[in-house]
Structure formats: C-alpha cells, structure tokens
Amino acid sequence: MKFAGEIALISGASRGIGAQMARQLAQRGIKVIINYSKNTDAAASLQQEIRREGGECEIMQFNVSDFEETKNAVSNIIEKNKRIDYLVNNAGITADNLILKMGEDEFGRVIDVNLKGAFNCTKHVSKWMIKHKFGVIVNIASVVGLMGNAGQSNYAASKAGLIGFTKSLAKELGSRNIRVNAVAPGFIETEMTEKLNIIQKKSLIGSIALKRLGTTKDVANLVEFLLSENASYITGEVINISGGLYI
C-alpha cells in the first residue's frame, strides 16, 4: 500500500488494537506518535520494540478528554515534526452497568474519553490538515454503536456518537482533501476478552458467523488500508469488522 503522508498520531496506543496499528504503520515507514494516558511502561516497551525493528516512534502522555492538554500536545508534535498526516482516534474505555445502577460519573467518563476525546484530537489536528490540504482520520467505533448492548448504554452512546461525528466530518472536510472514516470492530482478542471464562467465550463465539474472535491484526489491517492511498476515494464510511456478529 502507498502512503502520501509521513506522521501518524494514534490515541490510546500503548496496547491492544492501537499498539498493533502503531507496529504496522511503523513498518510502512511512517513515524508514529503513540499517545497514552497512564501505562508508561507499556508505551515505552512498545517504543523500544518499534525502534528495534527499524521504525520511528515517539510516545506522548496526555489525557485526550482534556481539551487544553490535547491542544498543547498536538502543538508540540507539530512544532517538532512540522506535520500530522494521519490521526487514529483509538482511545476508549468502558464502565459497564445497567442503566438503573449506572452512576453519572460512569456515563460521563466514558463519553469524555471515547467521544469528547475524539473531538479534542480532531479539533486540534484538523487545523494543520486544513492548512496543508491533506489528512486522513480513522475513528475506532464499535459494533455496539450499531447494534447496542445491554449494560453498555454509555459505551454504545459514545460509539454511536463517534459514527455520526465521522459522517459529519467527512462532509465538512472532504473539500480540503481530508478523508474521515470509521471502523466498527466486534469482539477482538485483547486483554479485555482474555478475562472472560471458557463459558463466556464459547457463548460469544457462538454468535459470530466465522466462529472465532477477531485479532488486533485484523483491525489494524483495515485501518492501514483506510489510511493508505488505496482508499483515496473512500470517506464517510463505517466499516463493520466483526466476523459476522453484526450482519
């Protein structure tokens, strides 16, 4: 795949899907900026791994839900690297609970990171993209944002909001040569699914047409494609990558 840009910022990329995206983009010769919130050890370990493989990588700790903190971080990245060509809004958290038990803080915290965090990053990065008339943004949504899930009304709302955010931005920024798409993963093998017991995993797999969980590489491959010039005429799309969980 061909890439027209040089610098990628990936939020929430110290582990899981974000970390795999960082690895693959670095292998393509793109310098990756890995954002993380708390896990310094994981971010530093990933940076060392990427550099050992010959890739370029920086790590930056900032809270995407904080508007000013994100603004300052983006300014520092652009000051040092002169550009941000690709933005992957990957940072996300869960705080599952039934609506009758869900606290205001549980709802607000998820919205702040998953949705407002994407707004904050996009708001500040898109200024550079608009100025230079190039950019690609990929938002990591979820099939839960398409189909809902009991006990995850906060998470579903954040991801559904991200889908609407994606479509609106695609219309708003398209004339500036900026593409905006979203991917909606299903159940992916991460630290979160590793905590499930055998019975829970069997139940999940039974609802998936391909009868397996997805991998972080499955998702990273799709994101890599959407960032590349191979997808130069694709914008405003939400691509479901769930193995047939949501059809």
Cα dihedral sign for 121, 127, 130, 135? negative
Give φ, ψ of 58 to 5 degrees. Answer: -125, 150
Q: Do β-strands 178-185 and 57-61 pair in parallel, antiparallel, or remain unpaired?
A: unpaired
- Residue 235 CA, chain-centre distance (Å), reads 16
Q: Which two tokens stand for residue 210?
A: 């391909």
Report CA dihedral (50, 55, 59, 64) to the nearest 10 degrees.
-100
Sheet-wide strand order for 135-140: 57-61, 31-36, 7-10, 86-89, 135-140, 178-185, 238-241
Q: Is 155 an annotated catalytic residue? A: yes
CA distance 244 to 142: 13
CB-count burial class (<10 Å; 0-12, 13-18, 19+) for 167? middle
- Residue 155 CA, chain-centre distance (Å), reads 14
CA distance 92 to 154: 12
Q: Which of 86, 155, 233, 246 is catalytic?
A: 155
Query: Catalytic residues, which ones?
Result: 155
